Every structure is written in structure tokens, then in C-alpha cells.
Amino acid sequence: MANKRIASSSRDNWGEKLARKSMEISNGNSPFHHVTLKHRRTTLGRVDKFLSPIYFTDVNIFGRLYQRHAPVMLIKHFGPTNSTFQEISKCENHFKNFIVGDNFGPTFSRHWFKLSIEIPSSWIREKVQLIWDMGCEGLIWRNNKPVFSLNYEDEFGVKKRYNIYEKFQQHNDRSVTLYISVSCNRLLGEGKNGMINPTDLKKMFTLTKAEIVTLNSDAYNTFLDLCLLHELAKSLPEDSQRSTEALYSANEIINILVKSKFSEQGYTNARDISKKFFTTKTRDGEHIVHAMGHCHIDSAWLWPYSETIHKCARSWISTLTLMDKFPDFTFVCSQAQQFEWVKENYPEIYKKLKIYVKEGRFIPVGGTWIEMDGNIPSGESMIRQFVFGQRFFLEEFGITCKEFWLPDTFGYSANLPQIMNEAGIHNFLTQKLSWNLVNTFPHNTFHWEGIDGSRVICHFPPGDSYGMHVKPEELLKTMSNHKDKGRSDTSVFLFGFGDGGGGPTEGMLHRLSRMSNCAGLPKVKMSTPDQFFADVVKTQDKLCTWVGELFLELHNGTYTTQAKIKKFNRKCEILLHNIEFMWTLAESQKKKDFPPYPRQEIDRLWKLLLLNQFHDVLPGSSIELVNQDACKYYEDIMKSGEILINTANKSLIKHTKNKTEFSFLNSLSWDRKEVVELPDKSLSFIFCPSLSMTSIHICETDPVIVEPQKNGMISLRNSKLRCTFDNGGRLVSLQLNNAEGSKELIKSSHFGNQLVLFDDVPLFWDAWDVMDYHLETRSPVLDVIEPLHVSEKSCELRGILEFSVRIGDNSKLKQTIELDADSPVIRFKTFVDWQENHKFLKVEFPWNIHSTKATHEVQFGHLERPNHQNTSWDSARFEVWAHKWADLSEYNCGVAILNDCKYGYSTFGSTMRLSLLRSPKAPDDNADMGEHEFTYEVMPHSKSLQESGVIKQAFQLNNPLRAFEGKVENDLKLANLNTDAVILDTCKKSDVHKDAMLLRLYEAFGSSTECEITLSNSCIKKVERCNILEEPKESCDIEINENHSFTSSFSPFQIQSFLVWLD
Ligand SMILES: [Zn+2]
């Protein structure tokens, strides 16, 4: 034993010596250790090649990732089919054998694959993966459940991987069956020769790879380290110590791996070096980045709505599977509609998602039904986006969102802060203004103040993206680009593939954990919107304030593109308003035999409308298939809405055989006196009280005078105005018939109603963008086909002129100009057959008005914008949006242009233009081709625009008095308002309180005022002020006056909602 001990001891000494020697060598004391020159470029190149999936893969680390390969034993295919998993699992005989190299398709069709996998027994203790490449998106099902998606490219350069076993064990099944449901499209659709080009609907797809592999975890982890060190070396400032450290750590890792022949010990030593680098902590007080997983899924864009349902399922199941593995991983997810889709179509995913929502890791955000367009939806539509969104989140998850989330929308209305506040939301996140073409927005974290003075805290993630890939340069930009550093030293960082879905990857999470507290970078923590905004609130007193709209200096063509969709949107908004008014009016009559309020059907129609307000549908930036689907939804709303109107009408009106008895609906909150067309096509001048359904009250009025002149011009005159048109339909004179004088409103030597055509070729985003240089290509439309003449239908109550012109090479426009008795507006009913290529049609009016600003209607109010180009901010607003009207006024005089379905305006000096039609060719090459019908009106006025009635007139154009055959037994009237400044915008049954009705009013002038609301036929039991979610605002009830009225004070542009219980 003793001898043995000596022998052993002697061997130990020898071993120690050897170890010491080896240490000396690795410390560089060996004469054979070579120190290279400090050559940055070659060292960077060396690391790059060591990671390359293309070069030197026989000797680099990439080539060592996958060690063993085996084919998928049997592949079977079934499709195209829209069958669900439950359906296909019952019809196995439909599946046919399929091999690598076989094709399937075409674009947007759906297919199923069944994979029989046999794992070699020698792969024990290995990580086993499936690699499956078919050039499109797929969802893997295992044991009857969806488990993971195949839909994004990751850092391996391999597109589609799925972990079959993290570590294949003896007791695991060697035989594995997987199903893959496949959508024949990539993440961003299938544009022909370019992402935003029209879809290649005939594309076929090929299965190019189907194998199982083992992944060497040591190589994988070191590979991740090296990738990051390489990126850090390139991203950190070249003269910084950390950049050099990163580069030399990477270089040393390569040396160790090569010298150790990629041994287990070599990997351990290599990882020690990287660990040392990544655990060198950031300094105290460093910028804090709140990272959140994110997956922007456009509800429809370069793919149809139906495909989005599968995109959500694919993206979310992968996210949830990653949550199982990464306990700190948080993910934010917007759009209640997408949750509802997954609930209905993928209950297994929804069940799992609910668990993580409860844990606070899968976080519903935004509070809206979809991520809507921020400009075009009406005020009430905006409100319903929040109502339907917040209601869904409350019912499903017991929470309401505390932040509004609209990262990808093309501008934000100046009344959104008030609407957000009304929905219980005080924080807002977007980043889209980083796309501004001209001006850099000056803040990242700031107070945003709306037209009524309401405020929210607003954050633009300084990395300028909602789809980060967790790269060092993104984290560095997030820190360096934050324009409010000092005021707020914290930012949001949203990571995950987006737009077409995808979401975070495992690689992103690994990178994030390595960089979470790493000197040279900001401090990163996995976080939530609540945690982030709580941090911001701590220093909110230091933040700057931005007042007014968040205008995007890009995508300004989206106010006009896809005219039909915009028209449907406006018409459906009005229709739903009228449906809700009629049914509430009916309920207020307390008639026993009246059918119950059709809440379910009204909600269904609202949801369709809200869906189509998605930020690529309503703006007109989607492919043709989406536009066709959207129109089908609109047609459903129009058709089903009419059924609801007629059902209400049947109960309200006594129908007689006498075809000359008519009743009228006035759903607006002021009395109207105007010329109407009766169902028998005859005209009458009638009075219709506010908020009522009444029998016809015919009134007397002065006739319209139509005066053809010798020079081919024709004049129209009524009690309010007179105007003259030339033979091309151009307005040569416009004057008010008021006592104070009759200023000529058309600028001398100019023409109003001048149609003008512009070249409209953007830099890239065809359907989206109109560039400022289009204004340099103005071409007036002068080719008269049919000269102006008096229509056969012209009569004393309505003077009617007609003309037609040729536009461009292939288009025609016919216009009917109308002036009604006693009306303050000239109406231009327009029919266009539009067949142009990259042309923009507008109508222009050079007014004899001097002002430095024009006023534009927005949701529940209006705002002024400059009509000059003093600054880059002014000139970048060369094409702006408005709702029903825009006005140019000087003191005591002005002219407004009203419209029934248009949104684009531009005013330069005294010339106002209304944008009518565009003709982009991508992503829908048939966009706007064909026939269009729309109406605009010109309203000259004295006094201010508020006093002139412009606001009311624009409502009236959009919501004409509606005639019904039959007689109302007793005139039905809901309510009366005692001021012109307040408008009752919505009247509906309460969603929450069974017996209450909801009245929503807003102050429309920008004034402080009192409004008395008198309920006509009913006694009021109780009135409560509430927010838009119909939660009472204060404990004390509102006092009810003896005459069934109540009074409320309004501040400028204030929206107020009241719950009213009737006796
Ligand atoms: Zn989007």
C-alpha cells in the first residue's frame, strides 16, 4: 500500500507539473503562444466565418450544430382543405403519400401533412429536432393539440425547426406522429415580385426539407455567445473598451475551441470567457429597458381576414410554448377581435392562453376591438372600439386595459386622449411617427394633450420598432435615441417577428438573458406595460407636452385610396346611428307590443364595422381579396341594418293603403326644415323636429330661380345665396344673399368647382403615399363632353344643372349641381367612371378669403391647420384628413366644403381642395377602378363657422331626413336640446344597465356652455353621468327638473355620456 501511495504521489506531482505547464501556455507564457496584431477587420471577419452557415461549415461551429440526421419516415398529405384537426383526424384515408420535392398550393389554400417519425435508438440523451421547410407557414399538432408553429426565420438560417425532445430519453416514444396544418403564404403574404405588389394567386409551394436531427447543445450555446459577442463588437463604439473586449473574447473562444478540437472541456472553457463578458454588470443609474414579447398581427393586409385567424394561432401557441420554458417571459397582445377568433377556432390554444393571462405574463393590451385607423373612424366608432375591446377583456379575463396600443397606425386624432380617458385609459404607446418623412418628432415620452385638454402619457419606443430581434444595436438605439433622457430614463423594447405574425423566438429570449445586465448596454428587464408606465409616472412632472394631433408625415394617400370602403364606412356609421336611435325612440314609448331591442344583432353589425376599420383595411392599403371581404361585411351591415330599421319602422308607423301618407325620421338633435324627396320621387319642403319620427309637416318657401345666360353660363338663386356656373360646370361666382352685403367669394379670375388631375407616383408605398411633388403636376380638367344645362328635373324647390367632362385618358365625370329652396349649400352630386393609372383627382375652390389657417372636423370637434408652408412642419401637412367638413374663414365670412364620404383635404392660401379619387396599383391593382358616386357641398356663410351652421349642415348631408310610407299615430319625439353648441351624437340602449338608455353628447363649438336636455314624452326617473364604458362617474345623481329635463355644463369639445332611466 505504502509503495503504491508513493507511486501515486509521484504521479500526482507529475500531473500537477503538467497542469501548471498547460496553465502557463494558456496564460500566454509559452514561447509558442502567438499574439496577433490588433487587426479589427480580420478578427471580425474570422468570427463571422466561424459562425457562417455558408462558408467553412466543415470546420466552423455552425457545421457542428447538427450532428446526426435522419429522414422523416413517412409523409402524407391532404389538401387543399379547410378541414379542422377534428375533421381530418376522422378521415385518414384522404391522406396521400408525399415526398420531399413534391408541390402543393396554390396561394392561400390550406393543407394538412401527417408525419410518421422514427427516432434512432442511438440518439439517447440528444436534443431531437424536426427540420421542415416548405416555404410557407404551418402549425404543428402533437397528441391532438397544436404545439408549435413553423413560421419564421431564425438565427440559424434554418427556417423551420421544432423541438421533438429537449432530451430524448430511454422511456420516450421513438415513434412520433405529427400533423402540420399549412397555410400557403409566407409571413408577409405572396406579392408578385415584391412584398406590397398584388398577390400571386397561382403560386405553388414545394417541400424542400423534411428531416430529424440532433442539436449539439454545447455548440448551440457557444454559437449564441459568439453571435452576440460578434454583434456587440460591431455595435458598440469602436473606440470603447467593451467593443474590444467583445471582439477579443470571441477571438479567444475560437482559439480555445479549435485547440481543444471542440471537446466538452473546450466548450466549458469557451463559455467561461463569454460568461465573464456577459456578467460584467452595467453601471448604476444606466438606462432601463422594459422588454416585452410582442407580435404585431395585421388583422388583414397582404393576406385575407380568414388567414389572420391561423396567424394568431400559430404565433400565440409558439409564444405560450416558450412561456413553459422561460418563466420570466412576458408577452403583450392587442386586438380583442383576435382573441375572439382564437377562442372560437382554437379552443386548446385559448385555454392555455387564459392560464398565462391569469399569471400576468400573456398580457392583453390596447383596450380596443382591433388596432384601428387613427384618423378616419367617426368619434362614436372610436368609442365603440374601446367599448367592445374593454368589454371583451373584462368578460374573458376580468381585466380592462390601462394603456392604448396602436404602434402601426397612420396618425392619431387629437381627440383620442379624451376618448382614452373616457375608457379608463391614461397611457398610450405607438412608434409610427418615427416614419415621418420630414420632421423628427421631438419626444419619446411625453404628455399628449387633446383638443379638449385631456391628457395621456405617451411613449414612442426609441428603437423605432415594434418588432425587435433582440440585437445589441437595437438596445443601444433604444438608449441613445431616447429624446427625453434625464426626464425619463426608461424605454419600452418590443421584440418578436411582426406584421404577419411570428412573435418572439427562443433565440431572442436567450440573447435577452445574456444582455440583461451587461456593461456597455442599457439594463434590460422582462417587464409589463403597467411596470413601465408606473416608472414613467414617477417623473411625469418633468415631461414635455405635445398639444393637438399626432400627424404622420407619410401615408397621406390613405385618406382617399379605396373610395368604396371609405364610403361604406361612413354610410354604415350613419346607419348604425339611426338604428340605435330608432330602437331607443321606440323603447322610450314603452309600447308593450314592441319587439325587444335587438342588441345581439346590433353588436354583430358594430363588430363587422369595427373590424373593417383595421389600420390596413379602412386606409385602403390591403390586397384585393381583403377589399372584397370588407365590402361583403359592409353589404351585410347595410342589408341587415335595413332589416332592423324596417322592423322598428313597422312598429312605430301605422301603415295605410293611402300611398300619399308619409312619416319622417330625424335622428339629429336639431329641428330641420328642408327640401326632401318622398318615396314617390316628388319633392316637398318640410319641417321635421329634432330627434323625432313624425308625420309630414309641409311648409311654404320661396322658389329657386334658375337663370340661363346668353354666354352659356347659368345662375342659381335662392333666399340664401346666388351662384353662377360656366358651361364646364365651373363656379364663376358665389355670393351670399344677406343684408350685410354680398361679397364675391370666388377669387377674381379663378374658378371654383375646378376638377384637377395630378400625377400620383409615390416613392414606394403605392396605396399609402402621395408625395408633395404631386402638387407640381396640377392639370385642370377642361375637356367638356356635355356642356352645362338645366336638368329636366329642375323645379321650384330644387334648381338642377348637369354637365359631364372627360378626365385623363379613359375616365368620365358627370355632375349634377343642385340648389334647394332655402338651402345654404350648393350640392355637387358626382358620378365618375374612373380608369386611371397613378393619377389623383381633386376638386378645387379658390376662395376670396384671407386666412392663415383652415379648420377641419375631427372626431367630436375640430382643429385648425396652417394653410401655408412657413416651417417644415407646416409644409409636411400638404394633404390632411378631415371628417364631414373643412372650412376657410376670415372674420365674419367663410366657405366650407362638406362631403358625404371623403376624407382628404388640402388648403394652400385661399385655395381649398377636396381629394376625390386615387389610382394606385399596389397592393391592389384594381384599386378604385370603376364607377363611383359621391356628393360634396359648398356652404358660404357669414359670421363664424360655429354660428353659421356648417357643423349641422354637414351632419344633414350625411344623414338625410328619411321618409317612410305610412303615418305615425302621434308624433314621436325623444328629446330636445336648448343650445346649438351641443350635439346629441348617440342615443342607444345601455349595454350594462338593463332599463336605462344612454345619451352621448358633445360640445361642438369649442366653447364652455350649459345644455338643458329635455325628454319629450316620458318622465325621467334617474339620470347618471357615466364614462363610455357606462360606469357611473360620480355618486350623486343629476338633478331632474320639473319639465323632464336635466342640465349639464360642457367645456370645449367635451364628450359627456348619461344613463337615463325613464318611468
Ligand atoms: Zn400593422
Q: Which amino acid is located at 729 in the chain?
A: G
Rounded CA gap, 909 and 669, in Å? 35
Read off the pLDDT of each residue in 552-564 and give the average, rounded to a whole number. 98
Report the separation in Å between the CA atom of 373 and the middle of ligand 1, taken as the mean of its atom positions. Answer: 10
CB contact at 8 A, 438 and 875: yes
Question: What's the pLDDT tens digit per position in 615-628?
Answer: 999 999 999 999 99
Q: How far is the CA of 421 from the centre of ligand 1 (A)?
A: 24
How do beta strands 288-294 and 523-526 pair? parallel
H helix or E strand, kind and range, residue 786: strand 783-790
> Is residue 408 flagged as an active site residue?
yes
**How much is the average pLDDT of 834-857?**
98
Of the listed ranges 122-131, 738-747, 843-852, 956-965, the least confidently predicted one is: 738-747
How many A from CA of 298 to the centre of ligand 1? Answer: 5
Distance from residue 616's CA to the centre of ligand 1 (Å): 7
Active-site pick, 408, 484, 766, 928: 408
Beta bridge partners, 490, equal: 288
For residue 499, the CA-to-ligand 1 centroid distance in Å is 5
When pLDDT is cut at 50, 70 and 90, the band that residue 59 belongs to is: very high
- CA–centroid distance, residue 307 to ligand 1 (Å): 15
HSE toward the beta carbon, residue 251, CA cutoff 13 A: 20
- What's the pTM value of the predicted model, to 2 decimals? 0.95
Residue 820: CB partners within 8 Å, gap ≥ 6?
674, 675, 704, 718, 797, 798, 799, 827
Q: Kindly give the distance from the C-alpha atom of residue 332 to the centroid of ligand 1, in angstroms, as a whole number.
A: 15
Helices (H) and strands (E) in the chain, counts: 20, 57
Could you tell me if 126 and 116 are in contact, meaning their C-beta atoms sit under 8 angstroms apart?
no
Please give the distance, rounded to the nearest whole angstrom, from the Cα atom of residue 558 to the centre of ligand 1.
14
User: What average pLDDT does the chain have?
Assistant: 94
What separation in Å is there between the alpha carbon of 296 and the centre of ligand 1? 7
Rounded to the nearest whole angstrom, what is the distance from the C-alpha of residue 407 to the centroid of ligand 1?
Answer: 8
Q: What are the tens digits of pLDDT across the range 740-781?
A: 667 999 999 999 999 999 999 999 999 999 999 999 999 999
pLDDT over 70 (residue 16): no
Helices (H), 27-147: 40-51, 85-88
CA 797 to chain centre: 45
Query: Tens of pLDDT along 230-284?
Result: 999 999 999 999 999 999 999 999 999 999 999 999 999 999 999 999 999 999 9
pLDDT surpasses 60 at 8: no
What pLDDT digit, counting tens, does each position of 956-972 carry? 999 999 999 888 878 89
What's the pLDDT score for residue 6? Answer: 42
Tell me, in angstroms, the distance from the centre of ligand 1 to residue 406's CA.
9
Nearby residues of 997 by Cβ (< 8 Å), 6 or more positions away: 584, 587, 588, 987, 988, 989, 990, 1059, 1060, 1062
- The whole-number pLDDT of residue 814 equals 98
Instruction: Kindly list the strands in the beta sheet with 127-133, ordered across the sheet, starting from the edge strand earlier in the chain.
Output: 66-71, 209-215, 127-133, 161-165
CA of 730 to the centre of ligand 1 (A): 41
4 falls in which pLDDT band (50, 70, 90)? very low
How many Å apart are CA 705 and CA 711, to the nearest integer? 18
Determine the distance separating the centroid of ligand 1 and the alpha carbon of 451, expressed in angstroms.
Answer: 26
Using CA atoms, how far apart are residues 648 and 655, in angstroms rounded to an integer?
13
pLDDT digits 0-9 by tens, 336-394: 999 999 999 999 999 999 999 999 999 999 999 999 999 999 999 999 999 999 999 99
Identify the helix (H) or strand (E) that includes residue 684: strand 683-688
pLDDT tens, residue by residue, 387-411: 999 999 999 999 999 999 999 999 9
